[in-house]
Amino acid sequence: MPNRWCVFDGKTDHNESLVLQDYEYACEKSDCTAFGAGATCDHLSFIEKVSYAYNMLYQITNQDLRKCNLSGATMTTNNPSTPDCDFPIEILTAEVVDGGTALTRRY
């Protein structure tokens, strides 16, 4: 996939409730297990965690731009990873690459 990340812009003028709601939604629909105690991204600030969650949702949906339509979300080509926490870029799924199989097309 292209080197693109969906991240939180970090501005303080966003409605906090909406940011928190979108953060929780992104974690619910993707994978925020990297925030667990002792995990690679447990040291991130809240703003960085929001960025990570937004990016995970964007990446697991094969960089669907509609999934980056969250409170304070913005697209960047600058890798937001930290030395200890990688903000991944999703590998293309079989469905995207070759149309998938009869099994994967059902999902």
5-105: CATH class: mainly alpha
Neighbours of 6 (CB within 10 A): 27
By three-state DSSP, how is residue 82 classified?
Answer: coil
Domain residue limits, the chain: 5-105
pLDDT, tens only, 44-64 = 999 999 999 999 999 999 999
Contact indicator for 73, 9 with CB cutoff of 8 Å:
yes
Contact indicator for 82, 48 with CB cutoff of 8 Å:
yes
pTM, to two decimals? 0.83
Report the DSSP beta bridge partners of residue 73: 8
pLDDT, tens only, 5-33 = 999 999 989 999 999 999 999 999 999 99
